[in-house]
Structure 1
Amino acid sequence: MDIGIDKIGFYTPKNYIDIVDLAKARNQDPDKFTIGIGQEKQAVPMPYEDAVTMAAEAASQVLDDTNKSDIGLLIVGTESSVDESKASALFLTDLLGLPADVRAFEIKEACYGATAGLQTARDYIAANPDKKALVIASDIARYGLNTPGEVTQGAGAVAMLLSADPRILKLENKSTFMSRNVGDFWRPTFSKTAFARGKYSNQIYIEFFSTLWEQFQEKYDVTAADFKAMLFHIPYTKMGSKAMKILEGNIDEAKLSELKASYQESIKFGKVVGNLYTGSLYLSLLSYLLNANIDSNEEILLFSYGSGSMGELFSGKIQPGFKDAIDIKTIENILQNRNKINISEYEEIFGQGLENGQKTDVKAITSTYYLSEIKENERIYQSHN
């Protein structure tokens, strides 16, 4: 039985900053950010937007009255959880109007969480072929103002509906994975911003990819020639290209050029959105699907990495007619109809947040789903639907 991604949706906040503007405000050479890091724009969420609201926005693109009743599993991969006890997935069952007989929970392991959800969902459908699973990656990447990681911030969500006989990507049940206790990135419960050892994290990321790629080749008797593209977790778009350097001198030059060209198609969306943490790999997938010249039944390799650390390399086959299952117009509108703000506005928004007892000014809301108030320390969500 074929199992995989049947539909995919995406959301990012309407406000963004230009990375050149950020570089100038921080007295940095713009080339350091645009060429060295590989970013152009960065999404800026409003105080009424969080992992729950963005997940709902993305999920609404893949749900309708005909498939909601088929969903038996809802998993949210996030490291931007809004509650230390209650899963963000439970807020979504209400916002999205899902049936009560659904398993709904949240997975946290840095940027790997959504992949853990994807693999769990695959196993669920294998045991329940008549059901569907909704897996959502939703995150706000925050490092703080005027910090080394500021240029790699971002926000957004990617929602994936998994089923038997998928129309977008068949998961091939081939993977290699590894876990190590590594101190490259962390966010203590008291902090709203992350801590990172940037160069060390890059080193571990590359080591994980190198090890897992070697294991994958041996385990499944494949080479780079078997894949049309290699997609990566990209907190910033130059990170995947650093990992690809291990291929240099080890594979045919023509094939390497092909993979590098495919990679450029996969980072187009990431360049203008920024870091999605758990969603970065799947934004890469979406960018590749909508920008590359794809062959029928094309086989691709996906590298998922979550600091701390967990990594997985797995493969999938793109299905014929996959674009018919994607709401391309909506995704294009989300990316094209955004509002550029200046750095002062961004800094003001960055410091804002809803406190206990406060309500959101409904007149200022530009999204469908929003945090309406915090009442008795409980987050209350609403929608304009």
Structure 2
Amino acid sequence: HQPFTKMAYKAHRHLLNYCGHDTDQDDIDRAIGHTTAYNRVIGNSYTASVYLGVAALLDRSEDLTGRPVAFLSYGSGSVAEFFAGTVVAGYKDHLRTEANREAIDRRKPVDYAGYRELHEHKLPADGGDHANPEQTTGPFRLAGISGHKRIYTKR
């Protein structure tokens, strides 16, 4: 979980110290550097950060076939989830490396006023039909809300 990447580096350093290992910065960079590549560029993404970390790891690493990968995500209220997986043969055929980089490149800067406007927007609670303007460039978008349900459309 890397809502901001310094957190991942500090956690890894703490774990190494706790286990009695050296905390050489180059070793830490080699151990987790690939996982922080997208999050370093995108910034604070909370829930998405664990999946951005996995995408970056798979996109940037040499062959990981058969290697174990651990996931840790946590939130407020002292809640955490840990799970693990094993990278399967042929995974590279399904990577979206170029699409991931294109999505990152399509980002648009948001100034402070725009950021405040986005965060002051309230979702309607009256059960009516409410359309949302097109703002993003991804393959899907939140087109509106109707009957308390989010309506997503494909671009």
Question: TM > 0.5 between the two?
Answer: yes
SS in 2 for 1:267: helix
Cα distance per residue 1:153-186 (max 9 Å; x no partner): xxxxxxxxxxxxxxxxxxxxxxxxxxxxxxxxxx
Matched, 1:370 2:138: no
Corresponding residue of 2:8: 240
SS in 2 for 1:304: strand
Give matches, 1:14-25, under 5 Å. none
Give matches, 1:1-385, under 5 Å. 233-246=1-14, 247-248=16-17, 250-251=20-21, 257-355=26-124, 356=126, 357=128, 359-360=130-131, 362=133, 364-366=134-136, 367=138, 368-375=140-147, 378-384=148-154
- Inter-partner Cα distance in structure 2 for 1:370 and 1:243: 35
SS in 2 for 1:263: helix
5+ residue gaps in structure 1?
1-232
> What displacement does 1:267 show?
0.9
Higher-RCO chain (CA-CA 8 Å, sequence separation at least 6) = 1
5+ residue gaps in structure 2?
none
1:383 corresponds to which letter in structure 2? T
Corresponding residue of 1:195: none
- Inter-partner Cα distance in structure 2 for 1:349 and 1:335: 20
- Inter-partner Cα distance in structure 2 for 1:263 and 1:307: 24
- Inter-partner Cα distance in structure 1 for 2:143 and 2:129: 11
SS in 1 for 2:58: helix
Corresponding residue of 1:147: none
Q: Which has the higher strand share?
A: 1
Check the 8 A contact 1:354/1:360 in 2, yes or no: no
- Inter-partner Cα distance in structure 1 for 2:153 and 2:82: 37
- Inter-partner Cα distance in structure 1 for 2:49 and 2:150: 27
- Inter-partner Cα distance in structure 2 for 1:315 and 1:384: 31
- Inter-partner Cα distance in structure 2 for 1:240 and 1:273: 15
- Inter-partner Cα distance in structure 1 for 2:120 and 2:23: 48
Q: How many residues align?
A: 149
- Inter-partner Cα distance in structure 1 for 2:104 and 2:152: 24
Check the 8 A contact 2:68/2:86 in 1, yes or no: yes
Cα distance per residue 1:54-103 (max 9 Å; x no partner): xxxxxxxxxxxxxxxxxxxxxxxxxxxxxxxxxxxxxxxxxxxxxxxxxx
Percent identity of paired positions between Structure 1 and Structure 2: 24
Check the 8 A contact 1:354/1:374 in 2, yes or no: no
Q: 1:300 to 1:372 in 2, by over 3 A?
A: closer
- Inter-partner Cα distance in structure 2 for 1:323 and 1:269: 18
Q: 1:315 to 1:351 in 2, by over 3 A?
A: closer
> What displacement does 1:384 show?
4.1
- Inter-partner Cα distance in structure 2 for 1:276 and 1:329: 20
Q: Which has the higher helix share?
A: 2
TM-score normalized with structure 1 length: 0.34
> What displacement does 1:361 show?
5.1
Cα distance per residue 1:15-58 (max 9 Å; x no partner): xxxxxxxxxxxxxxxxxxxxxxxxxxxxxxxxxxxxxxxxxxxx
Q: 1:250 to 1:369 in 2, by over 3 A?
A: same
> What displacement does 1:251 show?
2.4
- Inter-partner Cα distance in structure 1 for 2:12 and 2:5: 12
- Inter-partner Cα distance in structure 2 for 1:257 and 1:300: 21
